């Protein structure tokens, strides 16, 4: 499966761009030589010597082109042309491309004339070829970027769509699930929630009287419970997981069991029950540490066990796609805002609560970037996926968020200070090197989705919840996945459900890391 994914990426993404760059370099050198010759004849009015021109062409083109193409591909690859640059912002993309082309031609002149000593290279030819390369390579990328941003091109939906009426939300009593469940009910769906209620039933207790709502208290790792929960269901939204890097490092086996192995089981159960849709909540943390703007085709590089298990689950889910089973993956930005099951182990919520109660916050690595999204917008994104034709979302990965909500941690602190002017901000460094900005072009163009709530809304919600006494102590374990799991006394450790779970998996399916990664020192969990 992994080799299949990589081969598909190579054939459909990298190879065409590589071939285009090879053609551009060949054409640029040809145009450079031709222009130089024409200028030599026209401006200097020298009578051309055809023999010398033929010899020069062989020397400058036939020999130079092989070296130029080799250097170009190596340099372009080192500059990230075939792994990252299609996700760069336009200005930075152009700057990187100009630098790469310039380095290529400089290396060409040095190697050809001074290292390999194949003869002198007319500076005019190389300068012209360099300019033509910039025109072709930089210009084509700029034009493509302009067209992509100016015209939204989405795939046409194909096939018949089954009407979605009954939705199962696994983890529906959690931070996101309790908001999503309410949105689904308001949208006229019948909602069944499967949840172990590890954090209690308070987030959904007021929904129990709704005739369109059903609560099944069970562990989704338990095969029998899972099979029962999908009966009569049209679509499943999978939110259940150990969420956050600190919580996942407590017990690596448990993390892999809940975040990966149970997802593998869920795919098979859904297909066996003829469930039409599966929407999975992943995370933008799969991108790891990067200085570039990342989109859905950028190479994931998870640096935590949490992100690794999410990426492994993505691949299992997408690999399960058939003509009758349409999975969709949402890579969520860092969520913020108040929900019926509040969390204060999320960076915006935690920093705001600290600012309100203590008047001082510490920002670790204030220049690191994070994408953010309000919890209500996450719920809207999932509903949007259910309403979209399956041909538009089947087998697709979407980054869920907004360009306007790509912030550095230092900028988050300043946003908080706008509402709490007396706030003291202290900057420190630590070992958490996750740094990523994310592109949201795809979710905008395919689904027409845009975030409705800015960072200011979430900060205001948390500030009011603290000030009003709705949340008396944000440090309570019930508001933190990590602290609550620590105090569980082994309640979630491997037990009968997990024995049944692993018995249905092939040995190769369990071959993911079972030891937690070295814990990162973090200011707040994503």
> What pLDDT is stored for residue 56 in this prediction?
61
Checking if the pLDDT of 508 tops 80, the result is no
User: How many other C-beta atoms can be found within 10 angstroms of the C-beta atom of residue 103?
Assistant: 16
Which residue is it, tokens 């072009």?
Answer: 441
Place of tokens 């919890």: 375
Q: Are 345 and 351 in contact (CB under 8 A)?
A: no
Using the Cα atoms of residue 484, residue 490, residue 491 and residue 497 in order, give the sign of their dihedral.
Answer: positive
CB 465 within 8 A of CB 471: yes
pLDDT at 158: 43
Q: What is the mean pLDDT of residues 496-519?
A: 43
* Cβ(357)–Cβ(345) below 8 Å: no
Residue 246 has what pLDDT? 75
Instruction: State the average pLDDT over residues 480-484.
Output: 76
Does the pLDDT value for residue 61 go beyond 70?
A: no
- pLDDT per residue as tens digits for the range 193-231: 999 888 889 999 999 999 999 999 998 888 888 999 999
What is the arithmetic mean of pLDDT over 168-182? 95
Return d(Cα 191, Cα 173) in angstroms, integer. 12
Helices of type H across 401-495:
409-419, 441-447, 455-467, 481-486
**CB 501 within 8 Å of CB 225:** no
Task: Answer yes or no: is pLDDT of 152 > 70.
Answer: no
Strand partners, 334: 372
Per-residue pLDDT band at 136 (split at 50, 70, 90): confident
Q: 229-238, 362-371, 490-499, 515-524: which range is least confident on average? A: 515-524
Residue 348: closest CA among 420, 455, 433 = 455
**Cα distances (Å, whole numbers) of residue 410 to 143, 181, 284, 334, 362:** 34, 33, 19, 15, 10
DSSP 368-399: -EEEEEEHHHHHHHHHHHHHS-HHHHTTEEEE
End-to-end CA distance of the chain: 29
Count of C-beta atoms within a 10 Å radius of residue 151:
8
pLDDT of residue 93: 66
Domains of the chain by range and CATH? 2-150 (no CATH), 166-339+371-404+434-453+490-510 (3.40.50.720)
pLDDT of residue 3: 41
Pairing of strands 166-170, 235-238: parallel
Residue 520 pLDDT exceeds 50: no
Q: At CA 190, angle to CA 187 and CA 196, rounded to 5?
A: 115
Query: Looking at residue 519, what is its pLDDT?
Result: 31
Whole-number Å distance between alpha carbons of 224 and 207: 25
Average pLDDT over residues 109-118: 78
SS3 255: helix
Cα(239)–Cα(369) distance, integer angstroms? 25
Question: Which element (helix H / strand E) includes 189?
Answer: none
User: Which segment of 178-182, 408-412, 458-462 scores lowest on mean pLDDT?
Assistant: 408-412
Q: 6 pLDDT exceeds 60? A: no
CA distance 269 to 248: 25
What is the average per-residue pLDDT within 101-121? Answer: 80
**C-beta of residue 170 within 8 angstroms of C-beta of residue 366:** no
The predicted model gives 465-482 an average pLDDT of 86
Q: What is the residue-wise DSSP string for 300-322?
A: P---SHHHHHHHHHHHHHHHT--
Q: Which residues 6+ apart lie within 8 Å of 265 measured at CB?
A: 221, 223, 226, 501, 504, 505
Q: The tokens of 43 are what?
A: 């401006």
What's the confidence (pLDDT) of residue 181? 97
Chain centroid to Cα 107, Å, comes to 35
**Which are the contacts of 409, defined by CB distance < 8 A and separation ≥ 6?**
347, 363, 364, 365, 366, 367, 368, 369, 370, 523
| Mean pLDDT along residues 229-248 | 87
Interatomic CA distance for residues 415 and 429, integer angstroms:
20
Cα–Cα distance for residue pair 466/473, rounded to 1 Å: 8
Neighbours of 295 (CB within 10 A): 18
Q: What is the pLDDT of residue 177?
A: 94
How far, in Å, CA of 475 to CA of 466, rounded?
Answer: 12
Query: Tokens 């689950």 belong to which residue?
Result: 313
Please report how many Cα atoms fall inside a 13 Å half-sphere around the Cα of residue 107, on the Cβ side.
Answer: 16
Q: What pTM was computed for the model?
A: 0.68
Q: How far is Cα of residue 137 from the mean position of the Cα atoms in its chain?
A: 27
Q: Phi/psi at 490 (nearest 5 deg)?
A: 85, 10
What's the pLDDT at 249?
Answer: 77
Q: Residue 513: its pLDDT value, please?
A: 42
* Residue 184: predicted pLDDT: 96
Where is average pLDDT lowest: 93-102, 262-271, 467-476? 93-102
Classify strands 406-408 and 369-374 as parallel, antiparallel or unpaired: antiparallel
| Mean pLDDT confidence for 185-199 | 93
Question: What would the pLDDT profile of 428-455 be if each residue is shown by its tens digit?
Answer: 877 665 667 788 889 988 888 999 999 9
Check residue 526 and give its pLDDT.
44
Q: How far apart are CA 341 and CA 526, in angstroms?
A: 16
Total Cβ atoms within 10 A of residue 199: 19
Q: What is the mean pLDDT of the chain?
A: 80
Element (H, E) at 196: none
Please write the tens of the pLDDT for every residue from 350-373. Answer: 999 999 999 999 888 788 888 899
């Amino acid at each position: 499966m992994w080799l299949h994914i990589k081969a598909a990426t190579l054939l459909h993404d990298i190879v065409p761009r590589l071939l285009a760059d090879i053609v551009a370099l060949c054409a640029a050198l040809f145009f450079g030589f031709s222009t130089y010759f024409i200028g030599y004849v026209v401006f200097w009015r020298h009578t051309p010597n055809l023999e010398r021109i033929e010899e020069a062409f062989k020397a400058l083109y036939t020999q130079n082109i092989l070296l130029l193409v080799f250097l170009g591909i190596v340099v372009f690859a080192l500059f990230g042309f075939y792994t990252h640059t299609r996700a760069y912002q336009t200005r930075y993309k152009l700057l990187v491309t100009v630098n790469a082309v310039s380095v290529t031609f400089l290396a060409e002149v040095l190697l050809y004339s001074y290292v390999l000593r194949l003869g002198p290279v007319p500076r005019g030819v190389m300068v012209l070829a360099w300019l033509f390369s910039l025109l072709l390579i930089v210009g084509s990328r700029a034009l493509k970027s302009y067209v992509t941003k100016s015209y939204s091109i989405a795939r046409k939906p194909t096939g018949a769509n089954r009407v979605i009426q009954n939705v199962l939300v696994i983890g529906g009593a959690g931070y996101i699930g309790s908001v999503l469940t309410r949105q689904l009910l308001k949208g006229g769906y019948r909602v069944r929630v499967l949840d172990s209620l590890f954090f209690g039933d308070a987030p959904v207790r007021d929904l129990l009287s709704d005739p369109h709502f059903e609560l099944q208290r069970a562990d989704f790792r338990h095969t029998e419970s899972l099979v029962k929960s999908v009966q009569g269901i049209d679509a499943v939204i999978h939110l259940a997981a150990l969420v956050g890097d600190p919580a996942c490092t407590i017990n690596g086996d448990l993390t892999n069991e809940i975040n990966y192995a149970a997802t593998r089981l869920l795919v098979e159960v859904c297909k066996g029950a003829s469930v039409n849709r599966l929407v999975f909540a992943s995370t933008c943390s799969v991108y790891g540490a990067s200085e570039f703007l990342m989109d859905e085709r950028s190479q994931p590089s998870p640096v935590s066990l949490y992100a690794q298990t999410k990426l492994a689950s993505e691949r299992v889910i997408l690999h399960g796609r058939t003509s009758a089973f349409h999975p969709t993956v949402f890579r969520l930005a860092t969520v913020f805002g108040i929900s019926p099951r509040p969390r204060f182990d999320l960076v915006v919520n935690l920093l705001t609560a600290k600012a309100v109660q203590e008047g001082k916050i510490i920002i670790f690595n204030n220049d690191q970037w994070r994408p953010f999204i309000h919890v209500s917008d996450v719920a809207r994104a999932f509903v949007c996926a259910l309403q979209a034709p399956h041909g538009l979302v089947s087998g697709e990965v979407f980054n869920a968020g907004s360009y306007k909500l790509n912030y550095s941690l230092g900028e988050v602190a300043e946003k908080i200070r706008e509402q709490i002017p007396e706030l003291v901000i202290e900057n420190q460094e630590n070992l958490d090197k996750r740094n990523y900005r994310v592109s949201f072009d795809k979710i905008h163009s395919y689904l027409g989705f845009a975030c409705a709530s800015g960072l200011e809304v979430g900060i205001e919600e948390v500030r009011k919840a603290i000030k009003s006494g709705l949340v008396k102590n944000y440090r309570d374990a019930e508001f933190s996945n990590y602290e609550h799991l620590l105090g569980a006394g082994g309640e979630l450790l491997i037990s009968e459900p997990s024995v049944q779970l692993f018995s249905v998996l092939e040995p190769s399916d369990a071959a993911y890391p079972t030891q937690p990664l070295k814990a990162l020192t973090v200011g707040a969990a994503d």
